[in-house]
Amino acid sequence: MSDPSAELVDLTRDLVEIPSHEDETEAGDYLEAWLRAETDASVERDPAGNVLARCNVGAEESLALVGHHDVVPPADSQVRGDGRYHVEERDGRLHGRGTADMKGAVAAALLAFRDADPDTELQFASFVGEETDGEGVRAYLDRTTPDERFDYAVVGEGSTGYSTSGVTDVVVAHKGRRGSTLTATGRATHASLVEEGINAIYRASDAVDVVRNLDAPSATVLGEELPGSVAVTEIDGGSALNIIPEGCTVTVDERTVPGERADLGATEAVEGVTWTVDQDLPPMACSDEAFADAVLAAAREAAHAGEPAHVTKPHATDAGWLAAEGVTTVVAGPAESGEAHTDTESVAVDALTRCYRLYRSLAERL
């Protein structure tokens, strides 16, 4: 397998320079044009702005290399005077907003999609709106039937240290996130007349005690442990130092796992408290051990040193939405700690090269 590093660097640089934290259109234009120029694939830009491509159409099964081309807002230091994003190569790394999360992996997937000679149908998918609750992948799932979707997916998210530095592990499960608000209502009165009011903060405090005593579920996926958690992260109540508060809200952060959820509904047993779910990003579990093993074998083939492993990931990705709709999914990307969403975001060229080799090897062995 030839060394793709130089082309991979150039392609990543081109993608990273394109601003895509508010509008992914230009980045999608670039991906669509590249696929049409560099491949013979069937290329589609769907109504949501997702970029999709297919080759070897008609094979019995299909594998998709999946990413997203939106990014979180950049720091001022990551934006040039002309509004483009800074990108710089130094010390074997590419620096700039989106290098790690996740335009570098998108570039690796593009080159692997072009270069692979698969027996299966091979697809490429880059979604919009991953950073805003999976808007792109949800739109794709809403407009397609199970028969129209790919059967297997490798989502190229990374930017989290998994098992060992210098390897590309295979994530067989990751946590989801359910964000909730507990709203406590009471009756306001002057603080000198406590008996005439109902203190919403006290009611909220009782609800907090319920949350504190909840057991967070855990799960085991293909032998890997995935613990959940539930925690109060914000409290807001009261209007003045001398008024008994009539309202108080409590924010609860729950990291969910496949299967059970924490029983947050138990908080509504406290009088005057209601529970509302604000966000529910699904967890992911790979449903097919043979597929997970095939991806791991490809990761081992791509490795220069170290031993890749099946691992779990603490953060939600588009993989959760895919798995929830029956797509057999794993996550495998440039896993490096402390890079995504930072003002100094970067990715190792070696990590991107491993991803290219993994994606291409999997496409040709599946």
Query: pLDDT per residue over 137-166, tens digit each?
Result: 999 999 999 999 999 999 999 867 777 788
Tokens at 45, concatenated: 């830009």
pLDDT tens by residue, 236-282: 999 999 999 999 999 999 999 999 999 999 999 999 999 999 999 99
List phi, psi (to 5°) of 161: -65, 125
User: What is the arithmetic mean of pLDDT over 318-346?
Assistant: 94
- What DSSP string runs through 161-225? --SSTT---EEEEE-EEEEEEEEEE-B-EEGGGGGGSB-HHHHHHHHHHHHHTPPPPEEEETTEE
Q: Is the pTM of this model over 0.85?
A: yes
Closest of 330, 338, 280, 336 to residue 310, by C-alpha? 330
User: What is the arithmetic mean of pLDDT over 82-105?
Assistant: 96
pLDDT on residue 196: 96
**In the chain, what are the domains?**
5-175+283-365 (3.40.630.10), 176-281 (3.30.70.360)
pLDDT at 354 over 70: yes
* Edge-to-edge order in the sheet of strand 176-185: 229-237, 247-256, 176-185, 273-281
pLDDT on residue 34: 98
Q: Which residues pair with 231 in a beta bridge?
A: 253
d(CA 161, CA 68): 20
pLDDT at 293 over 70: yes
323 HSE (CA, 13 A, CB side): 27
pLDDT on residue 159: 63
pLDDT on residue 132: 94
pLDDT on residue 303: 85
Pairing of strands 42-45, 229-237: unpaired
